[in-house]
Structure 1
Amino acid sequence: MASNLMRAVQFSKYGGGVADLKHVEVPVPTPGKDEVLIKVEAASINPIDWKIQNGYARPLLPRKFPHIPGIDAAGEIVKVGSGVQSFKAGDKVVATLNGGGALAEYAVAKEGSTVSRPSEISAAEAAALPIAGLAAHQALTQNAGLKLDGTDPKTNILITAASGGVGTFAVQLAKLGNAHVTATCGARNVDLIKSLGADEVIDYKSPDGKTGKSPSGRKYDTVIHCTTSTPWSTFQANVTPNGKIVDTTPSFGTMWSIGLKKITFSKQQLSTVLTDPKKENLEFLVKLVKQGKLKPVIDSTYPLSKVQEAWTKSSDGHATGKIIVEP
C-alpha cells in the first residue's frame, strides 16, 4: 500500500438515498486478530445494501455513521491478523463482510467468513456469489428441504423473479436437485432463464405470470418467492395442500402471515430467508462455479467512481442477475 488512505463510498444517515453516497478518502482499516485485510478487486450490490440505508435494520445496522456499504467482496489478501491460520498475504479470496465495507479499495473480513477463490473464477464472478447465492441455497436446502445431489424424487418448484440475483442462482441450484422448475421473469429474460435450465418460463406480466400458473397445469411443492412486487398469497392456489412457500424478501406482513397460518393450522408452510453466511455453504457454491455447474449472471459492471449509477439500477429492481462494482 503506497498510502494509508483509500478511496471509499459512504452514506451518513438513514433515508438519504443515492444523493447521500459520497466519495471519500479514509484510512485503510486494520485487521483484528481473526480478520484479513482484502484489496478489493470486485464487490456486488445487493438490495439489502440500500435497504439498510433506508432503515430496514435500524438500529442494529449500520453500527455507526458514516457507513461504507457492501457485503460481498472478492480480491487479494494483503495482511492477516495475528490469529489467522487459513490464509496469508497474496491469497485470492471471496468474503461476506460483517456489517459492510466492500465499496472501497480495501476491506476487512472475518477469517470465518472468507473462502479461497480458485484461479478459474474471476473476481466479478466471485463477488456475485455470497449473499444472493447463499440466499438461494438456504431457501432450497434449509427451508424447502431439497437435496442438491439429485437424489430426491422430482419435485415441482416455482421461482418468481427468476432473472434477479437470487432467482438466477435458485433456478440452477433447483435443477441440480432434480426439480421441475417453473420460473417467472420479464419477457426480455425468458431465453436466459431457459438457458439456466428452467423447464417452463412465464412472462410475469401475462395472466398466468401474475398467479404463477404452470403452463402444464402442475401444482407446486415449493415456491421460492424472490420479489416484493407480488404478494406470496397470489400463488397459494397453485401450491399443493402440503406445499411450502419460501419468501426471500420478507416484510412485516409476511412475518404476521406466518404467525396467522400457525394459528389457523394450515398445512401449507410459509417461511422466510434471513441469509446466514455459512462458510461451508459459500465454499460449496465456489466449488460448483469452478466445476461449471453454477454460473453467476452479471447484469453490469461499474467503476467505484460511478457507484451512484449502480446503486440506482439496483434499487430500481430491474437488474438481470448481479450488479458489480470494481474499485
Structure 2
Amino acid sequence: MSTKTMQAFCYDRYGGGAAALKKVEIPVPVPKKGEILAKVEAVSVNPVDCRIQNGIMRPFLPKFPCVPLSDVAGEVVSVGAGVDNFKPGDKIVSLLTFTTGGGLAEYTVAPASQTAKRLPEVSAIEAASLPMAAGIAFKALEEVGSKFDGTGKPLNVLITAASGGVGQFAVQLAKHAGLHVTATCGARNIDLVKSLGADEVLDYKTPEGESLKSPSGKKYDAVVHCTAGIAWSVFEKNLSKKGKVIDLTPGISSFITSAVKKITFSKKQLVPFFSKIGSKDLEFLVGLVKDGKLKPVIDSIHPFNKAPEAWTKSMEGHATGKIIIEVAK
C-alpha cells in the first residue's frame, strides 16, 4: 500500500445525501495489473451515483467506505503491469469500474481497457462529461442499428428526457448518424434541445408530450428511453411495425414486459439495456468532441471542496446536461 496520502470524499452508510459525504485523508491507491494511476482533474456526477448511495443495489453495492463517481478526466501518474499503451504524462479520460468507483479524489486507479487518451483540443471538463452518459447513448444507438459512417438507414427515433445527461448526447449522436429525431423535455429546455439538432421537440408536461405522438405523424423505429414512468402502452401505439424501445433505466416491469413480448413473438420489443463501454468507444467520442461534432452541455461546474453541492444538484433531478466537479486545474 502507498504511504502517500490524498484528499477524497466518501460516505460510509446508505442514504444521507450530500450531508453524508465527508472529506477524508486516505492512501493514494496503487495500480494493479491492467490499471493506471491518474491524477484527477475533473469528474462528473451521474444520477446512478446518488441512487447507489440510496441503496438501489443493496446489499451488493457499494462497499463502505465508498469513494463515489466513475467518470474521470486526468493525467497518468504511473501504470500497472501489462499496460503498455499509456505512460506518465498522458492526458486521459476513463470510466472507472462501476462496482468500485473512486473518482471523487485527488488520485484514482482506472482500468486501461476503459481508458482513452484525451486529445489536447478536449478539455478535462468536456472529457469528464463523456464516459457514462455519452457512452450509454452511443451504445444504445448502436443497439438499434445506427451507423456513424454514413451507411446507416434513415430511422425515426424518439429520445426521452433529451436535456438530461444521456439525452443531450443521444440527440447529437442520432443526428450524426443521420436519424430523424423527436425529443421530449421540459418547456424551459425546448430551445436547447432544438439547438442540439432535434427535428421535433415535445414538452413532456403537455397532452401532446404525454402521448409521445410525433408532430409529423411519423412512427418511431426506435426509442432511446432515458427516464422512467412511461407505460409500455404509450410507446407501443407510436412504434413502427418492428419498433424497439431501449430502456436505459429498466425496472422490474421492464423485464416482465420484455419477456412477454418475446414469448408472444411480438415484432415490437422492449429492451432493458446494459452496456460495456470500452477504450474504443471513448476514443470515438473524444474524437467527435475534438471535431466539433459533439458538444457536451454542462449544467454546472463545482470546485472539489464544494463536491456536496454538486451531489445535491444531482439529487434534485433538474440538471440540464452534466454536473462537473473540478478537482485540479
Confirm or deny a common fold (TM above 0.5): yes
* Residue identity opposite 2:129 in structure 1: A
1:232 offset after TM fit, Å?
A: 4.2
The whole-number CA distance in structure 1 between the counterparts of 2:315 and 2:8 is: 20
Contact 1:73 1:97 survives alignment (8 Å): yes
- The residue that corresponds to 1:26 in the other structure is 26
- The residue that corresponds to 1:91 in the other structure is 90
The whole-number CA distance in structure 1 between the counterparts of 2:211 and 2:6 is: 49
Contact 2:163 2:321 survives alignment (8 Å): yes
- The residue that corresponds to 1:120 in the other structure is 121
The whole-number CA distance in structure 1 between the counterparts of 2:243 and 2:65 is: 44
The whole-number CA distance in structure 2 between the counterparts of 1:321 and 1:38 is: 25
- The residue that corresponds to 2:153 in the other structure is 153
Alignment of 1:166-205 (within 5 A): 166-205=166-205
The whole-number CA distance in structure 2 between the counterparts of 1:255 and 1:231 is: 13
TM (normalized to structure 2)?
Answer: 0.95
- The residue that corresponds to 1:213 in the other structure is 213
Alignment of 1:309-320 (within 5 A): 309-320=309-320
1:78 offset after TM fit, Å?
A: 1.2
Q: CA RMSD in A?
A: 1.4
Contact 2:115 2:278 survives alignment (8 Å): no
C-alpha distance 160-118 of structure 1, shift in aligned 2 (>3 A): same
Aligned residue for 2:244, secondary structure, equals: strand
* Residue identity opposite 2:109 in structure 1: V
The whole-number CA distance in structure 2 between the counterparts of 1:179 and 1:33 is: 41
Matched, 1:140 2:141: yes
Contact 1:151 1:178 survives alignment (8 Å): no
1:114 offset after TM fit, Å?
A: 1.1
Aligned residue for 2:94, secondary structure, equals: strand
* Residue identity opposite 1:131 in structure 2: M
* Residue identity opposite 1:68 in structure 2: V
The whole-number CA distance in structure 2 between the counterparts of 1:50 and 1:145 is: 31
The whole-number CA distance in structure 2 between the counterparts of 1:254 and 1:324 is: 31
The whole-number CA distance in structure 2 between the counterparts of 1:149 and 1:60 is: 40
Gapped regions of structure 2 (runs ≥ 5): none
Gapped regions of structure 1 (runs ≥ 5): none
- The residue that corresponds to 2:81 in the other structure is 82
* Residue identity opposite 1:95 in structure 2: S
- Give % identity: 58
TM (normalized to structure 1)?
Answer: 0.95
The whole-number CA distance in structure 1 between the counterparts of 2:301 and 2:215 is: 35
* Residue identity opposite 1:171 in structure 2: V
